[in-house]
Amino acid sequence: MRSLCAGFLVAALVMLGHGGALAQEQSPLVGRKAPDFTLERVNGTSASLSQVIKDKKAIVFFFATWCPHCREQLKAIAGRKADIDRLGVVIVLVNVGESKDTAVKFLKERGITYDTFLDVNSFVSEVYQVAGIPTLVFIGADGKVRYVEYGLPDNYEEILK
């Protein structure tokens, strides 16, 4: 878990050198089909990513409750909820490395109702090559990864066209 935090610091330094944005070409997932996964969700059921997004555009948000930058990005996403909904984009949260109780408490305290998967063993974050959190993975309706970023970029609508 702490390696994700260290990864975030490295990513932040990389972002500073690139004007605050993580370049698309830095993620080998861009242009490829998003890896499907099945995990338990905070509601107690299990589902696959493909079942949840159902051929729609999606933003998969990897986060942890202890991460202050994750909380900021959750606020940013919530603040653009109307626009995101208008675009038909599905928001999927993936809690990395924490217990179900920890994630549920965090989400309830903040009134967050997005579909949330529990990546307790960090297996999915490894498959997605998450170097630090928060990480947002933008997936097109064709199921391909369009962009990987550490925050919600201003041009997210363009990315998901």
| Domains defined for the chain, CATH in brackets | 2-159 (3.40.30.10)
Beta bridge partners of 46: 40
Query: Residue 126's pLDDT band (boundaries 50, 70, 90)?
Result: very high
Q: CA 14 to CA 116: how far, in whole Å? A: 28
Query: Residue 49's pLDDT band (boundaries 50, 70, 90)?
Result: very high
For 26-44, what is each residue's pLDDT tens digit? 789 999 999 999 999 999 9
Tokens 């070409």 locate to: 25
Query: Residue 130's pLDDT band (boundaries 50, 70, 90)?
Result: very high
Tokens describing residue 55: 């051929």
Q: CA 37 to CA 48: how far, in whole Å? A: 5
Query: Percentage of the chain with pLDDT > 90?
Result: 73
Q: CA 15 to CA 54: how far, in whole Å? A: 32
The confidence score (pLDDT) of residue 156 equals: 87
The confidence score (pLDDT) of residue 40 equals: 98
pLDDT at 6 over 70: no
The confidence score (pLDDT) of residue 161 equals: 83
